[in-house]
Structure 1
Amino acid sequence: MNENYAIGVDVGGSHITVGKVNLLNGNLVHDRLIRKEVNSKGSTEEIIKAWAQAIKEIAGDGLPTCKIGIAMPGPFDYQDGISWIDSTQDKYEALYGKNVKELLAEEMGIMAAQIRFKNDAACFLQGEVFGGAAKGEKRAIGITLGTGVGTAYFHGKEAEDAARWGDEFGESIVEEYFSTRWFARKYLEKTGLNLNGVKQLVEMKSNDWVNDIFDEFSTNFSKFLERFISEEKPEIVILGGSISQSSDMFLPKVEALIFESFKNVKIAITELGEQSALIGAASCWYKEGVDVRAQN
């Protein structure tokens, strides 16, 4: 594969998204994405095979020499490729303690050195800084809201993982309040039924109790965001993840509350969507010292 291209991979809680990225301009090649559902509660073999299949489909004949950057949720040893995701994250626990880099390379028949990992939240923000909602900003924070919570900060050079998912919040930790699990618990308390996803809840917004749930989420999220903004002093906050797709249910209140203390901080939804994390992941193969795409 041409050295000006790399394969970007975004590992989500229930899917994997793969695309070929032009490292010179940060754009997706041919606007082509492969998105496959993955059973994150499956066996190690099942997960690795699903990931490898999606990557090989994009790599094609270029697989033997391709460079792969993977946006991976934590906790994870990004340098050595070892997963430390356990049952508390409710996904990919079968990979706990295993060298994912070596397993994936073996499944695809390539060298482990062709694969690099970076925190998914940092990749998300890196992509948005390069060509999305945070382009041109000197300081930014990114938050992905989905099956888990990812946080990252950008201070003018390279987006870094802020790792705030485990910070104390309320009676538990951040991730227990701002992931789909929180909405599922609220839905179960109200109906006695299991929730398939936040989108399902939005479709029921004609019910006052649904709006009450989002109102509570807005209040809690504003409190967390105020603390995050105070510490990182961003010019803009970028929201991504599946829950951000329902932003009309909570963002107006969040913006109003944040504006009371931080009048110059903008809050925006991702412009690149699924592309942001994989573009940020692919950029880990870009040479150092070149604008915001430079990676270690």
Structure 2
Amino acid sequence: MGKKEKSYALGVDVGGSHITVGVVDLVSRTIDQKRLERHPVDSKGSLTEILEAWAGAIEPFCQHEVLSTVQIGIAMPGPFDYDAGISFIDSTQDKYESLYRKNVKDLLAKKLGVSNAQVRFKNDAACFLQGEVFAGIAKGYKRAIGMTLGTGAGTAYYHGTEAHDAARWGEEYGDSIAEEYFSTRWFAKKYQEATGKELSGVRELVDMKEESWVQAIFKEFGQNLGKFLVKFASEENAEIIVLGGSIAHSSALFLPETEQVLSRSLPGVPIKKSILGEESALIGAASCWYEA
């Protein structure tokens, strides 16, 4: 790296209930475990409350650096104009609606006392895959796809330069859209059908994994996921598929089914679980400052 290029950048991951900030070494492609902070955020709060919570989490990291040279990469859920820094998250998303149509990049930069050129936003699903390509399980691959399974379904593709949001959550699938099949909502629906009760989270089902009806739910999920990924991987000519998100923690219960479906259509394409976990989005966000 040249003299003017810095080897460090701040990676920030904006979640529905928290913000995580870390220092990423762009040369060794590692995160400093001693400087990794997670702070709660009320995503239903006012614009001022949200910005104060974000700035409060990021600011201490800026003080270690000369303020004019801090580089900040932020993994942010959409819809969002990532270049301009304007949020289009509205009330249908049930989070961060007070940011709607606001220039979040300008407002946050001003609050931190940095120029807006020092702040870059990138889609959170794209950051997840970027992190795995930059420093994780997909390193060395020229074409990859990624999918995060959690409260929503994030999709991204990588064609050798940088990862991009594939925005396939709204694609037609089954009798609805992909996100209805590959998120917590699907498990909640199946649980309600089986028990008449509300599911607190997928972990609750995992705890009941000895039950044959629970195993059947995970098997069905795995088969659906396999069918979806065959189409996605084929269209992107992927050499590897990377899975992340909270539901991926229980992959032992559904991945064998997914692999079976994939092996029939795409025998040479491995499907791997993220090895960076929650840090993949942080590293991916920070790596938008990397210059080869």
TM-score with structure 2 setting the length? 0.91
Q: Which amino acid is 2:89 matched to?
A: I
Select the residue among 145, 148, 162 that pairs with 1:144. 148
2:215 matches 1:208: no
Once residues 179 and 130 of structure 1 are traced to their aligned partners in structure 2, the CA distance between those partners, rounded to angstroms, is: 26
Once residues 120 and 167 of structure 1 are traced to their aligned partners in structure 2, the CA distance between those partners, rounded to angstroms, is: 18
Select the residue among 92, 98, 103 that pairs with 1:94. 98
Pairing of 1:234-249 with structure 2 (within 5 A): 234-249=238-253
Once residues 202 and 290 of structure 2 are traced to their aligned partners in structure 1, the CA distance between those partners, rounded to angstroms, is: 36
SS at 2:101 equivalent: coil
Choose 26-35 or 257-266, whichever is displaced more.
26-35
Q: Which amino acid is 1:127 matched to?
A: G
Once residues 210 and 41 of structure 1 are traced to their aligned partners in structure 2, the CA distance between those partners, rounded to angstroms, is: 33
Pairing of 1:11-160 with structure 2 (within 5 A): 11-30=14-33, 32-62=35-65, 64-65=67-68, 66-160=70-164
Total equivalences in the alignment: 288
Pairing of 1:220-235 with structure 2 (within 5 A): 220-235=224-239
Overall identity of the aligned pairs, in %? 62
2:16 matches 1:3: no
Q: Which amino acid is 2:125 matched to?
A: A
C-alpha displacement at 1:267, in angstroms?
0.4
Q: Which amino acid is 1:7 matched to?
A: L
Once residues 137 and 34 of structure 2 are traced to their aligned partners in structure 1, the CA distance between those partners, rounded to angstroms, is: 19
Once residues 13 and 182 of structure 2 are traced to their aligned partners in structure 1, the CA distance between those partners, rounded to angstroms, is: 20
Aligned residue number for residue 293 of structure 1: none
Once residues 196 and 103 of structure 1 are traced to their aligned partners in structure 2, the CA distance between those partners, rounded to angstroms, is: 36
Cα contact 1:13–1:147 (8 A) shared by 2: no
Q: Which amino acid is 2:286 matched to?
A: A
SS at 1:264 equivalent: coil
Choose 245-254 or 17-26, whichever is displaced more.
17-26
Q: Which amino acid is 1:8 matched to?
A: G
Cα contact 2:134–2:287 (8 A) shared by 1: no
Choose 107-116 or 124-133, whichever is displaced more.
107-116
Q: Which amino acid is 1:93 matched to?
A: E
Aligned residue number for residue 294 of structure 1: none
2:285 matches 1:281: yes
Once residues 187 and 46 of structure 1 are traced to their aligned partners in structure 2, the CA distance between those partners, rounded to angstroms, is: 36
Question: Which blocks of at least 5 consecutive residues in structure 2 are unaligned?
Answer: none
C-alpha displacement at 1:63, in angstroms?
7.1
C-alpha displacement at 1:260, in angstroms?
0.9
Aligned residue number for residue 194 of structure 1: 198
Question: Which blocks of at least 5 consecutive residues in structure 1 are unaligned?
Answer: 291-296
Cα contact 1:143–1:152 (8 A) shared by 2: yes
Once residues 176 and 67 of structure 2 are traced to their aligned partners in structure 1, the CA distance between those partners, rounded to angstroms, is: 46
SS at 2:228 equivalent: helix
C-alpha displacement at 1:161, in angstroms?
1.7
Please list the CA deviations of residues 29-77 of structure 1 after superposition, one character each: whole Å capped at 9, or x if unmatched: 3553212233333333332222222212333343733211001111110
The CA RMSD measured in Å over matched residues stands at 2.1
Cα contact 2:243–2:271 (8 A) shared by 1: yes
